[in-house]
Structure 1
């Protein structure tokens, strides 16, 4: 089997159900394994079957899938606005769920109900949920514990004074470059850096970083820190993220199809990125968060995790525990190239979008997406 590159480690077989190791079936040159720099046609093809190119763990669907109910359609002008956004943004699927009723669902012609699509940083909110589960299980004592309590290999690094909470809110004060267009950025180099023998790949890279601000004083978005959060959860629970996610997300949320979660060169699931789900299962994750994750996370976890620990842009939005926060009590998961799951509690609403923006980030398309979700919510909130 081909090996090498981001997430394509050759690992020993894993037989334990309901999670199994998968290896890539198609070899791509090392130079082409930097996902950030694929052209639009390549992204459009590969985002729907990342498991063919990268190693990962596949999680079985729930024994009892959650069933959404059919619902009335949205007002014509709102449906037209969604269709226009899909055309403009390159979205391949959008689903709107209100009161557990599917009010709108549309997919591109080659994106069917069983097709999975990569998440990018939507995975961060999954890792956050597993953090909450580990706290509920007593595996993690407190968000205010030092990171080094759970990742001793970081002792002696800039992470010595940093807490789990500061990693969860990306306020560690550690210097980081998340520029998706720069091949020398930290986010581009992190998973291309081989791990030191016996060390986690992300730890190998994060140990090289420097401090730019006191812990807790500055927000800087860092995918590497969500990878660390995943390592914290794995070390605390003694389980792979994907394995833990079966018990804490896939089964209780009622996923109907298998989930794929990429691994790095040290065999860890990549906490900050790269799981793949069907459109319906992204919506099921949103519904699970909307309903509070009873019995899985501490009471009130999603209200706390989805609240602005960090306020940005004059309080218009912010960042919680690996969730973006919006006006009102809305919050959501976001990934580059247009992936998102938005939860609007006051409207009992979930909007899941998977897509292929022309660029990794776009202020214009992000604004239009926010406006679209607000328009959808306004159309159903007073029903």
Structure 2
């Protein structure tokens, strides 16, 4: 179940997931929603400029000085073979705030952005923490309907913000990616009506399948619902909040872009595009407990809760936190389809970022190769300590 994360965000870009009968090979230009069916060459070309083929909102970095990531002691690991085999565009290893490995391929350069897919979920989660800090959200135990009152009277009655964050709402959701009648294939086809959030409208019609808090069920729709809740509580779009709370404080080197849904709202579960180093700075933000510019942007205990197991996923030694995937040894991460990853190891004080264009959106062999590469990085870091 852990690796469902690698499929989740694709659904935000595809209208229906049953394989369509295209009259011609789909391309980003003739079918921007058909990312599952683009050629590998098209994905490599477009993943670094997604904001040019579909609507996005800018995430402005502001005037804060760029956080330096000085070079550290290079690790004795050549990632070339892994990068070539897995279509990896960027590898970054940071330890103690210093770069120990950085490599680019597939036309990606240091200043180029790359789409994150479901890595965005962990940013959305952090915005919940900032909304607690600001007081816009009173408590994780508040009912979701306090902030999204149009959900009242349906499956979300009695569901808390915490349960929404951990995907334990108990609301029925079908995440069958190849069933055109599934919720995940349909919810982003909800018509956008004036004054209405189409995602909230769709989710509000879903019935309850289990008591809140009793069962984990991966639900892409709920991550978008988290985004709608934040925007409603704060009275601001997510891209503006991400700029104010994180991007303008973390010393980012470039503006980012956030993809918009059919209602013109940022998709809480998908598709912030940013540079390799800026994704590294996101990992550092989590590693450093939300401290940005000398101030913690979230409650003091936020990351202590967010990056540890809050729900069992059915996989040994793994769990789900507040939109972060957790491991029992303390490692946690944000992950997206086609091989995107921000992996944080508090014990080693390392952040590993991978930006990729796997030949397939998901695949057991690709996952195994990535895990093997992570182990190689860990071994290299351990073998070559920084002075």
TM-score range, shorter chain: 0.7 to 0.9
Structure 1 residues 243 and 366: CA distance shift in structure 2, 3 A: same
Q: CA RMSD in A?
A: 2.2
Structure 1 residues 182 and 34: CA distance shift in structure 2, 3 A: farther
Q: Does 1:331 align with 2:328?
A: no
Question: What number of residue pairs does the alignment pair up?
Answer: 357
Give the structure-1-normalised TM-score: 0.87
Q: Does 1:258 align with 2:276?
A: no
CA shift, 1:65, in A, is 1.1
Q: Does 1:131 align with 2:128?
A: yes
Secondary structure at 1:218 match in 2: coil
Instruction: Note the alpha carbon deviations across 1:226-251, whole angstroms, 9 max, x for none.
Output: 11111111111111111111121112
CA shift, 1:42, in A, is 2.5
CA distance in 2, matches of 1:130, 1:111: 28
CA distance in 1, matches of 2:354, 2:176: 23
- Match of residue 342 from structure 1: 343
CA distance in 1, matches of 2:205, 2:212: 17
CA distance in 2, matches of 1:84, 1:190: 40
CA distance in 2, matches of 1:263, 1:233: 15
- Match of residue 118 from structure 2: 121
Structure 2 spans left out of the alignment, 5+ residues = 1-10, 15-26
Structure 1 spans left out of the alignment, 5+ residues = 9-25
Secondary structure at 1:288 match in 2: helix
- Match of residue 55 from structure 1: 55
CA distance in 2, matches of 1:334, 1:286: 12
C-alpha contact (below 8 Å) 1:6/1:34 kept by paired residues: no
Output aligned runs, 1:59-208, within 5 Å. Answer: 59-63=59-63, 64-75=65-76, 79-80=77-78, 82-208=79-205
Secondary structure at 2:249 match in 1: helix
Secondary structure at 1:364 match in 2: helix
CA distance in 2, matches of 1:275, 1:96: 21
Structure 1 residues 365 and 109: CA distance shift in structure 2, 3 A: closer
CA shift, 1:375, in A, is 3.0
CA shift, 1:204, in A, is 2.1
CA distance in 2, matches of 1:261, 1:218: 31
CA shift, 1:178, in A, is 2.8
CA shift, 1:184, in A, is 4.1
Instruction: Note the alpha carbon deviations across 1:224-283, whole angstroms, 9 max, x for none.
Output: 111111111111111111111112111222110110001112221110101100111111
C-alpha contact (below 8 Å) 1:120/1:274 kept by paired residues: yes
C-alpha contact (below 8 Å) 1:135/1:297 kept by paired residues: yes
CA shift, 1:379, in A, is 2.9
Give the structure-2-normalised TM-score: 0.87
- Match of residue 17 from structure 2: none
C-alpha contact (below 8 Å) 1:36/1:180 kept by paired residues: no
Output aligned runs, 1:302-317, within 5 Å. Answer: 302-313=303-314, 315-317=316-318
CA shift, 1:300, in A, is 2.8
CA distance in 1, matches of 2:12, 2:308: 32
CA shift, 1:32, in A, is 4.7
CA shift, 1:196, in A, is 3.5
Instruction: Note the alpha carbon deviations across 1:121-148, whole angstroms, 9 max, x for none.
Output: 1000000000000001111111111111
CA distance in 2, matches of 1:144, 1:70: 43
- Match of residue 275 from structure 1: 272
- Match of residue 222 from structure 1: 219
Secondary structure at 1:325 match in 2: strand
CA distance in 2, matches of 1:239, 1:32: 27
Instruction: Note the alpha carbon deviations across 1:279-328, whole angstroms, 9 max, x for none.
Output: 11111111111111122011131121000001334541110000000131
CA shift, 1:366, in A, is 1.8
CA shift, 1:59, in A, is 1.7
- Match of residue 361 from structure 2: 360
C-alpha contact (below 8 Å) 2:87/2:106 kept by paired residues: no
CA shift, 1:378, in A, is 3.4
Instruction: Note the alpha carbon deviations across 1:153-208, whole angstroms, 9 max, x for none.
Output: 11122111211111100111122233444444433322222233321021122123
